A = this chain, B = another copy of it.
């Protein structure tokens, strides 16, 4: 791993919510981060599917860390705001969140996030995020 990847992994490991949910950081490249979450009954909403809050948590972290991969040295990231569309019920064995940087300025980064419900035979887009991430002094 290079330095930004190590920094992102260390930060991810310190996000206790990620381990509480059971999320794993599976890929970090320049401008793109992937996080995987297995289905669990303990994260369900009233119909037994994954709660929008759990789906949002992993794609928020994916977008934030994608922005961090592009941040100037000595800066950390915080989420200013995001918007998420939920296009299909979150039914699946695994949920893959992919955060991608669309633009980076001095203060703000705009990121695009996608979440896929994955089973042995299918991979369906279930949620779309558009997020604004702020660079702050670390």
A residues contacting B by CB (< 8 A) are: 11-12, 14-17, 20-21, 41-47, 51-54, 56-58, 60-61, 76, 78-89, 102-103, 105, 107-108, 110, 112, 125, 128, 130, 132, 134
Nearest Cβ on chain B to A53's Cβ, whole angstroms: 3
Would you call A128 and B125 a contact (CB within 8 A)? no
Q: Which 8 A-B pairs have the closest CB atoms?
A: A53-B57, A83-B83, A17-B51, A81-B85, A87-B103, A16-B44, A11-B46, A130-B130
Pick from A53, A79, A86, A130 the residue with the most CB of B within 10 Å: A53
Nearest Cβ on chain B to A22's Cβ, whole angstroms: 10
Would you call B20 and A42 a contact (CB within 8 A)? yes
Chain A at the B interface: SS class: mixed
Would you call B17 and A54 a contact (CB within 8 A)? yes
Would you call B86 and A108 a contact (CB within 8 A)? no
Would you call A108 and B128 a contact (CB within 8 A)? no
Would you call B61 and A87 a contact (CB within 8 A)? no
Please give me the residue from chain B that is nearest to A109 by CB atom. B87
Name 17 A/B residue pairs within 8 A (Cβ), A-sorted: A15-B45, A16-B51, A17-B42, A20-B20, A47-B76, A51-B57, A53-B53, A78-B86, A81-B81, A81-B132, A87-B110, A88-B103, A102-B125, A102-B128, A128-B130, A130-B130, A132-B132
